[in-house]
């Protein structure tokens, strides 16, 4: 059954790519809007809130990374970056800015459709969670899953990127259980891991730094060689 309600906003300055994407997703039953830059994107969102933004990085003026950060500060709208860049640093930065997924051109439309469906399901679930507050306390830290905050016992808050928060929440919710790199990457970026992808390792390294967990002898986020990572912090 086709989804006749979800609203997808395609932000792409290339008219050919934008038109093809709009036609494809309209055919699949989605409501689709098109924008060629950040200003038009904001105008459309003000008039018709979207469920998901498909956002090109290489836009004139404000680029897709800036727009991702701006939107993430306002809402939990689904964001997929669509770009011709293949540098893993761009992918990591995009995820840390708040993007949910990252697709490089040229892409297979059916694969992109699958990613859109998966992300829309997650957005729908997150909107239905409600305001219940879930707290995880470990070592000298308090992780608030509802308010997305990490606070030290001395009261200071530690800023986390979206990817760092999702990875830490996953690990804390499965203490003592090895989380594979594939599992963690799917949680923070909704794609499968391959041996050349260092996204998970970068996120874990930064988490250890922020948690003051010695990377040489970590006590909270422990490496399980050839498998992944596990949370070994002391829960209270």
**Do 161 and 118 share a domain, yes or no?**
no
Cis peptide before 106 (omega within 30 of 0): yes
1 domain residue, yes or no: no
Taking only the tens place, the pLDDT of each residue in 64-107 is 999 998 998 778 789 999 887 666 677 778 888 888 888 888 88
Q: Which domain holds residue 172?
A: 135-231
* Residue 235 predicted with pLDDT over 90: no
d(CA 230, CA 174): 8
Asked if 159 and 123 sit in the same domain, the reply is no
End-to-end CA distance of the chain: 46
pLDDT of residue 38: 94
- Average pLDDT over every residue of 186-205: 81
In this predicted structure, what is the pLDDT of residue 130? 43
Give the CATH number, domain containing residue 212: 1.10.10.10
| Whether residue 172 is found in the same domain as residue 106 | no
Whether residue 104 sits in one domain with residue 210? no
- Domain count of the fold of the chain: 2
Mean pLDDT computed over 5-10: 91
């Amino acid at each position: 059954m086709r989804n006749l309600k979800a609203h997808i906003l395609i932000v792409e300055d290339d008219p050919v790519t934008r038109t093809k994407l709009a036609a494809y997703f309209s055919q699949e039953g989605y409501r689709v809007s098109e924008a060629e830059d950040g200003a038009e994107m904001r105008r459309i969102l003000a008039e018709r809130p979207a469920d998901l933004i498909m956002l090109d990085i290489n836009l004139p003026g404000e680029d897709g990374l800036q727009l991702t950060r701006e939107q993430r500060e306002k809402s939990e709208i689904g964001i997929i970056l669509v770009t011709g860049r293949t540098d893993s640093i761009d992918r990591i930065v995009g995820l840390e800015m708040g993007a949910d997924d990252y697709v490089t051109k040229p892409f297979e439309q059916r694969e992109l459709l699958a990613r859109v469906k998966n992300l829309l399901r997650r957005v729908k679930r997150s909107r239905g969670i409600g305001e219940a507050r879930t707290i995880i306390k470990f070592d000298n830290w308090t992780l608030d899953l509802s308010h997305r905050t990490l606070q030290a016992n001395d009261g200071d808050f530690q800023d986390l990127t979206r990817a760092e928060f999702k990875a830490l929440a996953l690990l804390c919710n499965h203490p003592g259980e090895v989380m594979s790199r594939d599992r963690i990457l799917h949680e923070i970026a909704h794609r499968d891991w391959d041996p050349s992808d260092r996204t998970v390792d970068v996120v874990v390294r930064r988490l250890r730094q922020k948690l003051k967990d010695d990377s040489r002898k970590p006590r909270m986020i422990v490496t399980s060689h050839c498998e992944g990572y596990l949370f070994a912090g002391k829960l209270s």
